Amino acid sequence: MKRISIKWKLTILYTLFMMILVCITWTLLLSLSNREILSSVKQQLKDQVYGSFDELEYEDQTLDIDSDILNMENGIFLSVYDGQKKFLYGKIPADFPAAPALKNDELHTVSANGITWYTFDSKHTLNGYGDVYIRGILSVTKTEASITVLIRMSLFIMPVLVILAAVLGYFIIGKLLRPVNTMIHTVLEIQESEDLSKRIPGTKTQDEFYRLAECFNDMLSRLETSFQREKQFTSDVSHELRTPITVILSHCDYLMEQGTLPKDCQKELEIIQQRASNMAKMVSQLLLLSRPNPNISPLNVESINVSELTEMVVEEERIPAEVKQIQIYAEIEPAIKTAADQALLIRLWVNLINNAIQYGKEGGRITVTLQKTNTNIIGAVMDDGIGIEPEDLPHIWQRFYQADPSRTSEQSGAGLGLPMVKWIAEAHGGHIEVTSTKNIGSKFTFFIPIRNL
């Protein structure tokens, strides 16, 4: 029941409710109707007998009995008897037993040959003639048989009605819940495109769904404003920091070039220079991450040879890798081309290979591979370094997250490298995956769809 949609849940509940209601109604009707029908039948029998005395007339020493007595209205057999209870006229059912004694105003139940009958006798005095009896006979078995037919019919009709109601209910509930599906689609679209400017379309009726959509849109507007504010703030701060960092770096360069500083001061200056260049890297990464959604502000896309670009980055990265005696092996499929932002792709490779060097072991190896399928470019960087703990893996894509800050060196950034790699892959319509084992190594693989300009 947990995984069933609301549409199905409501339909099932509603159908169950209908079934219970039908069962209760059916049982009530059955017991009532049986009793009601039989008592109304008895009443009918009496009325017919009483009414039939109008068909008798005594005139000119003759008793006239109207032939209407033979009509068998409502299946009632009528017969007329004289004061000595001798049969005069009328109809008696063929299988009716030898007449039981006539009694005045009494209802009897007579059974014979598997049939049950109601009989009702009534005595009347005709002026000049004397007493006459009229007897009415009605088959109870036949009446009950017609009730049984009714029950059988309802046994078939009721389930059909319940099924019809369930099908109808399913469609009506589906129609009522359509705004919820629209909301789900919009939310998924927003999630996919990360475009907070999208809004949920309003419903035609001003019902609860309309209000829910309004509340949701309101929340989206607020989120959009606060995200924009945050991005603007990051971008402004980064811009403001760029100039003083550049000034620090240029002063450091100048002092280093002079070569007049004592050795220990030179060492301190190198540390300042190192930290300042780390800050410069961080600021430029922050500036990039604070860019608006790539769906809204497009990338600087051009047709590029990814194979050549990767080879170039690998060659450049061999220099820092040598510091740790790390060998970089490249398996690059030639002439892979796509439309992409060249600067961003370089940044993606550099960040991944830098991390592999950073967290790789002394004298280890890094493998860089590039290949393509019909639809995607698949790039991977594999190292045999320290690896990542499983509980850290889901978080390494978050800004400023460092799995174990104590093991990060002065060379490392501030936990912005991987968020940027992810951002670049997604900005190109792709994605990135990671597999890692502690003390064995890590493998980062990105997939970017091939596009032609």
At its nearest, how many Å lie between ligand ADP and the CB of residue 416? 6
The DSSP secondary-structure symbol of 334 reads: T
Cβ atoms 396, 373 nearer than 8 A: no
What residue type is assigned to position 98 of the chain?
A
Q: Given the complex with ligand ADP, which of 322 and 404 has the nearer CB atom? A: 404
Q: Given the complex with ligand ADP, which of 132 and 418 has the nearer CB atom? A: 418
442 near ligand ADP, judged by CB under 6 A: yes
Q: Given the complex with ligand ADP, which of 186 and 355 has the nearer CB atom? A: 355
Outline where 74-207 has alpha helix (H).
Answer: 140-176, 178-193
Other CB atoms within 10 Å distance of the CB of residue 399: 15
Q: Given the complex with ligand ADP, which of 136 and 441 has the nearer CB atom? A: 441
Q: What is the largest CA-CA distance in the chain?
A: 163
Contacts of ligand ADP in 356-375 (CB under 6 A): 356, 359
C-alpha of 149 from chain center:
45
At its nearest, how many Å lie between ligand ADP and the CB of residue 280? 14
When CB distances to ligand ADP are compared, the closest residue is: 417
Q: Kind and range of the H or E element at 178?
A: helix 178-193
At its nearest, how many Å lie between ligand ADP and the CB of residue 385? 5
Other CB atoms within 10 Å distance of the CB of residue 424: 26
Q: Given the complex with ligand ADP, which of 306 and 388 has the nearer CB atom? A: 388
The C-alpha atoms of residue 427 and residue 430 are separated, in whole angstroms, by 7
Q: Are strands 376-383 and 365-372 parallel, antiparallel or unpaired?
A: antiparallel
At its nearest, how many Å lie between ligand ADP and the CB of residue 284? 13
> In this structure, what is the dihedral angle of CA atoms 270, 275, 277, 278, given to the nearest 10 degrees?
140
Task: Give the closest residue to 434 by CA, choosing from 368, 390, 370.
Answer: 390
At its nearest, how many Å lie between ligand ADP and the CB of residue 289? 11
| Residues in binding contact with ligand ADP, number by CB under 6 A | 23
Tokens at 142, concatenated: 């036949």
In the shown chain, the binding pattern of residues 379 to 418 toward ligand ADP, with x for contact by CB under 6 A and - for none, equals ----x-xxxx-------x----xxxx---x---xxxxxxx
At its nearest, how many Å lie between ligand ADP and the CB of residue 232? 23
Q: Given the complex with ligand ADP, which of 14 and 397 has the nearer CB atom? A: 397
Q: Given the complex with ligand ADP, which of 69 and 381 has the nearer CB atom? A: 381
At its nearest, how many Å lie between ligand ADP and the CB of residue 364? 11
285 near ligand ADP, judged by CB under 6 A: no
Q: Given the complex with ligand ADP, which of 344 and 388 has the nearer CB atom? A: 388
Cβ atoms 285, 423 nearer than 8 A: no
The C-alpha atoms of residue 200 and residue 212 are separated, in whole angstroms, by 10
Contacts of ligand ADP in 307-366 (CB under 6 A): 355-356, 359
At its nearest, how many Å lie between ligand ADP and the CB of residue 239? 21
Angle among Cα 317, 319, 320 to the nearest 5 degrees reads 75
At its nearest, how many Å lie between ligand ADP and the CB of residue 376? 22
Task: Give the closest residue to 11 by CA, choosing from 240, 134, 172.
Answer: 172
Residues with Cβ within 8 Å of residue 48, at least 6 apart in sequence: 73, 74, 76, 78, 136
Q: Given the complex with ligand ADP, which of 222 and 407 has the nearer CB atom? A: 407
The residue ranges that bind ligand ADP (CB under 6 A) are: 355-356, 359, 383, 385-388, 396, 401-404, 408, 412-419, 442
